[in-house]
Structure 1
Amino acid sequence: MSLLSSLPAANSYRTTGEGTLPSAFAVSELATASFAAVGQELARYMAAANLSPTAPEVTVDHRLASLWYHYSFKPDGWEMPSLWDAIAGDYRASDGWIRLHTNLPHHRAAALKVLGTQADREAVSQALRSWAIADLESAVVAEGGVAAAMRSRAEWLDHPQGRAVSRDPLISWQNPRRITLRDRPAATAERPLAGLRVLDLTRVLAGPVSTRTLAGFGADVLRIDPPGWDEPGVIPDISLGKRCAYLDLKSTEGLTHLQDLLSQADVFIHGYRPDALEALGLSKAKRDELAPNRVEVTLDAYGWQGPWATRRGFDSLVQMSAGIAHAGMEWANAEKPTPLPVQALDHATGYLMAAAVLSALAEAASGNSIMHAHLSLARTAELLAILGKTDTGQDAITANQSDYSEKTEQSGWGLGHRLKSALTIGQTVMRWDLPAPQLGTSEPTWP
């Protein structure tokens, strides 16, 4: 089998555009290579599915790929909601720096309960000063919140979880089996994924990037969230091309409805931590029973083995844990944590997840066995840490008007413009049939 296991070689695809996202790490190189992985696996699938006589040439616009790692949507006459809660951020404790992630109400409440303070940034800052970072990190996590102490690369690589992650493959393929792909007569070389049903149970940010990518080639993506859920700072960016519905999976009716959707899905992408699906009654055996011919890809924050395998996390937290923010601080000669210029762990993992789906589809179309793909933000961090930086000395990449499509997008919040496609596979380019909608605006049904 030739399931995706690493980034493609730089000489295996064509690049255009130039520039760099300033960082201690090869962020722009990672952006280009992750887009190339999507392109190469889609080209391989197109050949295997007889949508192209041979695997088409893959071209990545290096500049646009880097820009897609930030916001892809530019509002016209209005502003995107803030990405961060007022309490979220980096704080100096008694022996170092720690990051609190409080965008979700229950995570915010957990941090404030541990600190015994009100939702005031100055009060939080003062309460933190008496804490050791390791103790506070553990206390917030034990309370059901999320936080990350800043560690150096050496400290992370010596940490039990860092050692566990370093042993993981970039993409862990598990549970081999043969599947039969459903006929999709609408699929063409221009829209190779037309009619592909993708059930999306992911949230901020890597998983939604993966399903947005698949939608860009024609897939029917249905995103499911709990009633009332919202991510105002990111949804206009990552709901592009999808239909978004609410389902209460804690109810018998909602869970039964989800099982029906899964039974009709071609691809299942989720971001549940280990054993979380089992708690919903969706064990692997149950998923195999409901959807034996599905492609399944999942991710978590800190890896799939080790003491932190079940720990909640986000890109900004993994950057703190894995030594990225510390290395950035030294590179910038700064006095505080210096994260990557974009949430590169999320975006790279998202594009690799999309590439993993395409890789499995290509294998299945060729009559080979496939496996479930497991990825993590922490393992992507290790990839970034060893990736060679080649863009030194080039101009910093910032978006300008010419980077955006002239076509106006009527999003669920207002008018705006989307970045141009960064990826071309032969004559196939990424484009989306649906504008970005607000969550809960569609019915939980397949088209």
Structure 2
Amino acid sequence: MPHQYKTTPSADIYGPGTFMDSSFTPAPQDTARIFEYIAKNTLGFTQNKELWDTVQFEGSSLPIIPGPFKAPLIAAALHAMCGVVAHEIVEDRDGTLTRTQQVTVNTDHAGIWLGTIFAASVEGKDISELVRSRQLSALFQQNFDRDCMATPIKQRSTAIYKTKTPGVWYQLHGSLNPIPVLQSMGINPDYPARTLDEAYDYISRHVEQWNADELEMHNVKNGFCGSICFTPQGWLDTLMGKRLADHPLVGYSRQSHAIPTPPSPFPNIAGDSRPLAGIKVIELVRIIAGPIIGNTLAAFGADVIRVNCSRLTDLGVSSEFPAYSCLNFFLLTINLQALQLTLNTGKRTIDIDLDKDEDKSRLRELIEGADVFVQGFRPDAIARKGFSVNDLLEMAGNRGKGIVYVEENCYGPDGPYHERPGWQQIGDAASGSSYVMGRSLGFKDGTSVLPPLPISDMTTGLVGALGAIMALRDRARLGGSYRVTSSLVKADAIALEPEIGLYSPEIAEKSNQLFQWGPINSSQFVIEILLVVMDGWKRIFPQYFESGPESLMTSFQDGPWGHMDTLKPVVQLSNSTMTPRWLTPSVPHCYHPRNIQWL
């Protein structure tokens, strides 16, 4: 690891509040430095350097995503931290000394993990091929999207647009129902645009009639998603930015006001030595960030039941769509269909209607046996249904066994925007990431562009999983119940900290020359950019996606979709019986009967 890492302010290159590497460090060595920085600043993570030295990073030297961000390295560091805590749990459980074990993380693997939803194949056809050939939807028996993204206008309701304010662009988000968003701005949702470019141009003409603050207040007033594309310094200067800066990246705390409960040692499960074997997780989540939490815990051995809500009216979703049996409202577009193929690996899935008393009772029955509850809805919405953190703390106290309550959102655990809805793109815009990406592509007029991949979603999920694993370790040692929080904006903002640094334009260009990234611009949805990145990876890293000694894929032969190959868990532990892995293939949402029991 370099002894004297330095960054320099790069306002003239990447904009106000940015910092760039003074010199280049190859990815594995730079990740080791980032690992130590995050570990040092994470309350509750071991400060024993001997245990830090059990971590080894490997991989290629250059950045493997477009732009100046070190998101793959941050992800690799967080995965490694999960591995260290997992070894602590095993030591507490059966005496295997953490300092005698090793955690190995490939930084390329961690980067490709950020694109997990397309790093899979079904019956020999990879997801990107199925998307381009329009065959992906044929894998799903029911059409739940309700045509929310069926036209170019609706698709481009989520994009970045120039405003009337000089130098300021705005991230619109059609969310789960773009029609009222468009209509509220005087935009005809039925405008007969024939192409995505034509739709983007049409919406652009309307957005440019608004200044940035008008758009922001309009969306706040109406409860819509959206965000100014701040510069990094611009975000830090806001009240919300200042409040979020007071919180650590990985936030978890013992709930001292809860009814005291005794330590809950980890069970020894015959035939399964994974660190979280025997741990039970309920997942009440949505698109990517929440499901990644359960997906990660499942790989470490947890029994995860994913709950999909039949009626989401009061959970922040438009009421214009009726309830359906087994309704998964979030199958909006092909990328969300791909989520089922990847993020449900290792889980069981059921349907619950939180407007029905009998269904809420069923959920409470499952929670009675759960160790972890993960939720990705707005706190006031979930509280109205009776599943707030305090509701579950009371349940845990009454049963005499603590619980870990994990919640992920956009803006953090408190502050003026705490209850505001948000998605990955909102985190990218608010944090300054979209602005920096635009600058990295040569724009000096405020033009903002989505960073490659769903970075904030994936990182937020990984942060939530790490917090949960640490909380479970502490519950086993000390007893009590715990709350874990993770935030989309915070997950983006860490990559902009001076201690992390951005790659110089010269290094980013070397990556571009190697991977020959296709064009990326402000109009594109995340799936379009993900296809660009995946094409580059498969040109340069074919060995990672094919069978062979360097393959990063794992196969399932007997799942609902037939033969599937999915990306392996990133963390590799030196004891192969303990190393993370999924035992079951991915399944569709609402796949299992509601009366299922814990394993």
TM-score under structure 2 length normalisation: 0.68
Give the 5 Å matches for 1:188-267: 190-227=273-310, 228-229=327-328, 230-231=330-331, 232-233=336-337, 234-267=339-372
CA contact (8 A) 1:295 1:361 kept: yes
Structure 1 pair 306–298 and aligned structure 2 pair: CA distance change class (3 A): same
Matches within 5 A, 1:5-404: 13-18=55-60, 19-20=62-63, 21-50=65-94, 52-54=96-98, 56-71=101-116, 72-75=119-122, 76-77=124-125, 79-80=130-131, 85=149, 86-87=155-156, 88-95=158-165, 96-105=168-177, 108-119=178-189, 120=191, 121=199, 122-174=201-253, 175-176=255-256, 178-181=261-264, 184-186=267-269, 190-227=273-310, 228-229=327-328, 230-231=330-331, 232-233=336-337, 234-292=339-397, 293-334=402-443, 336-367=447-478, 371-386=482-497, 387-389=500-502, 392=507, 398-399=537-538, 400-404=541-545
- Partners of 1:2 and 1:166 in 2: CA distance: 15
Report deviation, 1:183.
6.0
The separation in 1 between residues aligned to 2:223 and 2:585, in whole angstroms, is 35
Write out per-residue CA displacement over residues 35-63 of structure 1, whole angstroms, 9 at most, x where no aligned residue.
11211111111111226343521110111
For residue 443 of structure 1, what is the amino acid of its counterpart? P
Change (3 A) 1:4 1:142: farther
Instruction: State the partner residue of 1:433.
Output: 583
**Contact 1:4–1:356 (CA under 8 A) maintained in structure 2:** no
SS in 2 for 1:398: helix
Q: Relative to 1, partners in 2 of residues 1:201 and 1:266: Cα closer, same or farther, differing over 3 Å?
A: same
Q: Which has the higher contact order (CA 8 A, sep 6+)?
A: 1
Verify the 8 A CA contact 1:198 1:211 in the aligned structure 2: yes
Matched to 1:222, the amino acid is I
Shift of residue 324 of structure 1?
Answer: 0.9
Instruction: Please say if 1:416 is aligned against 2:467.
Output: no
Give me the whole-angstrom Cα distance separating, in 1, the residues matched to 2:112 and 2:344.
17
Amino acid at match of 2:179: A
For residues 8-58 of structure 1, give each alpha carbon's deviation from its aligned partner in whole angstroms, at most 9, with x where no partner exists.
997551012124223222112112112112111111111112263435211
Pick closer, same or farther for the CA change 1:156–1:410 going to 2, 3 Å: farther
Q: Secondary structure at the match of 2:235?
A: helix
Decide whether the 8 Å contact of 2:73 with 2:110 is kept in 1: no
Deviation at 1:149, TM superposition (A): 1.7
Deviations 1:270-296 (A, max 9, x none): 123233332112344431232342122
| 128-137 or 74-83: bigger deviation | 74-83
Hey, what's the Cα distance between the residues in 2 that align with 1:26 and 1:320? Answer: 17
Q: Counterparts of 2:491 and 2:46 in 1: how far apart (Å)? A: 12
Q: Percent sequence identity over matched residues?
A: 23
1:51 and 1:381 map into 2 onto residues whose CA distance is 38
CA contact (8 A) 2:555 2:563 kept: no
CA separation of 1:216 and 1:48: change in aligned 2, threshold 3 A: same
- Cα distance, 1:132 vs structure 2: 1.4
Query: Which whole-Å CA distance do the structure 2 matches of 1:370 and 1:5 have between them?
Result: 20
| Contact kept in structure 2, 1:179 and 1:294, CA below 8 Å | no
Distance 1:222 1:294 in 2: 16
Which ranges in structure 1 are unaligned for 5 or more consecutive residues?
Answer: none
1:390-433, Cα deviation, whole Å (9 max, x unpaired)? 79456557144432426355554564321234211222332211
Contact 1:225 1:440 in 2 (8 A): yes
CA root-mean-square deviation? 2.9
| Contact 2:556–2:585 (CA under 8 A) maintained in structure 1 | no
Shift of 1:179: 4.3
Match of 1:91, as an amino acid? Answer: Y
Shift of 1:323: 0.9
C-alpha displacement of 1:439:
0.8
Rounded to whole Å, the distance in 2 between the matches of 1:225 and 1:29 is: 32
- Letter aligned with residue 378 of structure 1: V
Q: Is the 8 A contact 2:175 2:225 kept in 1?
A: no
Change (3 A) 1:261 1:420: closer
Q: TM-score with structure 1 length normalisation?
A: 0.90
Q: Are the equivalent residues in 2 in contact too, given 1:170–1:379 (CA < 8 A)?
A: yes
Aligned mates of 1:54, 1:12 — CA distance in 2? 8
Contact in 1 for aligned 2:461/2:486 (Cα 8 Å): no
Q: Which is richer in helix?
A: 2
Aligned residues: 444
Q: Which consecutive residues of structure 2, in runs of 5 or more, have no partner in the other structure? A: 1-41, 138-144, 150-154, 192-198, 311-326, 516-535, 546-552
Amino acid at match of 2:240: Q
Counterpart CA distance in 1 for 2:217 and 2:112 is: 35
Distance (whole Å) between structure 1 residues aligned to residue 130 and residue 561 of structure 2: 10
Q: Larger Rg: 1 or 2?
A: 2
